[in-house]
A and B are shown apart, each in its own frame.
Chain A
Amino acid sequence: MERPARAPIAHALVIGAGIAGMQAALDIANSGYPVTLVEKLPSIGGRMAQLSETFPTLDCAQCILTPRTVEVGRHPNIHLITYAEVEDIQGEPGHFRARIRRRAAGVRWDICTGCGACIEKCPTRVPSDFDMGLGRRKAIYTLSPQAVPNKPVIDKEHCRYFTQGKCRVCEKVCPTGAIAYDQEDELLEIEAGAIILATGYELYDVTRLGEYGAGQVPDVISGLAFERLLSASGPTAGKIRRPSDGREPKEVVFVQCAGSRDPEKAMPYCSTICCMYTAKHAMLYRHRVPDGQAYVFYIDIRTAGRRYEEFLQRAVEEDRVLYLRGKVSRIFRDGEKVVVWGADTLSGQQVEIAADMVVLATAIVPRPETRRLAEMLGIEVDAHGFLREANPNLAPVSTCRPGVFIAGTAVGPRDIPETVAQASAAAAKVLSLFARWQLEPEVEYAGQS
């Protein structure tokens, strides 16, 4: 068999810069190897950057995340490419070549100082995806004040200059002349010996839940949207205000398994994190609104994790969250109320609650681009589109292709501690390859033998 002309490249490509991708990149970079970290959004941090507090410790998510994002942003061994997507991957383990399209930000990041003057003066406001539609952002924006990199991008679909041909306010106020409307997408080619996929998750499309209002009832929101309401950096600065009229909701119903564990209609699997974050939501709601009532509808409660059951008991006993065992059959708007019909299967009764707001624990689903990347790399996904492990018991971060590893919620629903542990495991797999290549530079790639 012919030997590769060059030694394998001890350089890692990590796709996705959520907590999984960041952890993996840091572990590899701190071991002295170079990493290219690619993120689709303008800044890093992923879903965790949207969270208010983390269970079971109620740590402020931003506070524990920001040191990590900053470390990633300034690490000499990490080449961070945000606002970019991997378009193509060729080659073999040890010698992958990836083509990366970096979207035109409309801003020269090399001279932008991140002062924020452009954002402040931009006259256009649009619903913010980062705030799950509850808040608004400008047409030139960063995801959050703590964004890494703290450089803005122009949303060309809404920017007044791009849609109407006039405005150019950001260009006028920029002190360094960094606005570049005619900037074009940039194509980058990088070489890497190993790849880690950490592309994260999306939420089940609520418009497919007709029985829960199909996204048409403004005061029925997702758990991730509720995180934004709870977050001090969110659209309400951490005050609980319902979307329809900005009033403080006095009765809030939390619905678990919205689209999960429903093989007939939606996803058959358990989304794993909802029992815990719903307990956290109900608890934090009661802290913010002490005269409010929180109800939780559940099928059964899964608190399999260290100090998780104690956390749940605290929500029930100390914070007086009312747990009702049963499914919700219907949610609809009636005047100013959101009416919830459900069953309490412990008392055998039908329950009707005229609530002020409803929070749906919508199922975790894989991103469509995860499947695309898997096809590109020749690795497998399961029936739903989650990445498939080489062996779910004994090789949980490996894939059927040597040199390609996986971590985080792109593999399936999981919480932050498990995601971080898995990311470190994937990094260790990459590092063991790199170490072997260093010890035995003559060796053919492990996967070929």
Chain B
Amino acid sequence: MRYFYFPGCTLETKAVGFNRSAKEAAGALGVELVTLPEWNCCGATFPLSTDNVLDLAGPARNLVSTAEAGGDTLAVACATCFNVLRRTNHFLRKHPDTLEKLNAFLERPQPYAGQVEVRHLLDIFVHDVGLEAIRRRAVPGLGGLRVAAYYGCMLLRPADEIALDDPERPGIMDALLAALGAEVVDYPHRGECCGAYLTVKSPEASMPMSYRILSAAGRAGAQVLATACPLCQFNLDWLQARLRQQYASYQPLPVMYFTQLMGLAFGLDPAGYGFEQHYVDPRPALAQAGVLGGIRSP
């Protein structure tokens, strides 16, 4: 299986561990991720002022490049890039007049017709590789590590445009983690917002939002929380030092990318997964659960 792959800015800078683990975990499953030539920033938010066609040009250029390179699928790891690219594609398919304007502006040899499918790695792993193949490959597996799957907003909403899972009761990441040998914990806030960009301007607003997710996952018995979004990862990870000051009984919970857990489950060398960059170091929890045990130290 071979797909064009869109890493995105954050995975090339802050979230290099996500990028590396995503590519290696994919490789272990026989999925070759070919980095899209000359990709550019997705725009980081889907433009809500839809009359401004130029806002769509950035994300659209990646779709055009995929088509020009002969690809029919653009695989994305970052939940936010996935959201922006997928919604852009959806919008262009629904609005031929905008697409025509964009094609005129981009002046590429072949006009884009909406033929590329933007897909998240979760989708590719679960539906193209399949849970059974993942289960077979998951040696040594996660040994019953208790994981809370956290989806956040970007993987789920708007439901009809993203169409990856039921936003009110998502399960695709839970299924993947269970196939890796994790014990997936049930908690109610899988799809609640972590606070997103509020962290920059009003951390007092985002902190309760993140706390609600982390504490519910912790109460459900999670040893690790898994995400597919660098911003969620940052919020949920970074705020924990402050949560510990504010709530005396607060127990820190490592926040990991689901692909890091895939790499560990497949017995890959986690050097370069960037564990040392996490604010709450996941290694003690992983070692305690015996998940790091079978792996050569880097």
Q: Is the interface of A mostly helix, strand, loop or mixed?
A: strand
Are A214 and B169 in contact, with the CB atoms below 8 A?
yes
**CA distance in complex: A339, B216 (Å):** 13
A339 vs B168: C-alpha distance in the bound complex, in angstroms? 15
Give A217's nearest chain B residue, CB to CB: B188
Picked from A210, A334, A339, the residue with its CB within 8 Å of the CB of B169 is A210
Evaluate contact between A211 and B188: CB separation under 8 angstroms: no
Contact with A along B150-194 (1 / 0, CB 8 A): 000000000000000011110000000000000000001100000
Give residues of chain A (171-215) contacting chain B, Cβ–Cβ below 8 Å: 209-211, 214
Question: Chain B residues near A211 (CB, 8 Å)?
Answer: 168-169
Q: How far is the CA of A393 from the CA of B158 in the complex (A)?
A: 39
Q: Tell me, in angstroms, the Cα distance from A209 to B168 when the chains sit together.
A: 8
Distance in angstroms between the alpha carbons of A339 and B188 in the assembled complex? 10
A333 in complex: contacting residue of B166, B167, B169, B188, CB < 8 Å: B188
Q: How far is the CB of B47 from chain A (nearest CB, A)?
A: 22
Q: Is A332 an interface residue (CB 8 A)?
A: yes
The complex places the Cα of A55 from the Cα of B189 at a distance, in Å, of 38
In the bound assembly, the distance between CA atoms of A167 and B178 in angstroms comes to 41
Contact with B along A407-432 (1 / 0, CB 8 A): 00000000000000000000000000
Collect the chain A residues with CB atoms within 8 Å of residue B169's CB: 210-211, 214
Residues of A within 8 A of B167 (CB): 210
What's the tally of chain A residues with a CB closer than 8 Å to chain B? 9
Give Cα distance in the complex from A213 to B169, angstroms: 8
Residues of A contacting B168 in the complex (Cβ-Cβ under 8 angstroms): 209-211, 214
Q: Interface code A355-388, partner B: CB below 8 Å = 1, 0 otherwise? A: 0000000000000000000000000000000000
Q: Which residues of B contact A209 (CB under 8 A)?
A: 168
Closest residue of B by beta carbon distance from A211? B168
Q: In the complex, are the beta carbons of A210 and B188 less than 8 A apart?
A: no
> How distant is the Cα of A21 from the Cα of B216 in the complex, in angstroms?
50
Taking the closest CB of chain B, its distance from the CB of A343, in whole angstroms, is: 16
Nearest chain B CB to A328 CB, angstrom units: 12
**Looking at B166, B168, B189, B216, which has the most chain A CB atoms within 10 Å of its CB?**
B168
CB distance from A336 to the nearest CB of B (A): 13
Q: Which residues of B contact A (CB under 8 A)?
A: 166-169, 188-189, 216
16 contacts between A and B (CB under 8 A): A209-B168, A210-B166, A210-B167, A210-B168, A210-B169, A211-B168, A211-B169, A214-B168, A214-B169, A330-B188, A332-B188, A332-B189, A333-B188, A334-B188, A334-B216, A339-B188
Q: Which 4 pairs show the lowest CB-CB distances between chains A and B?
A: A210-B168, A210-B169, A332-B188, A211-B168
Interface residues in chain A, defined as those with a beta carbon under 8 Å from any beta carbon in chain B: 209-211, 214, 330, 332-334, 339
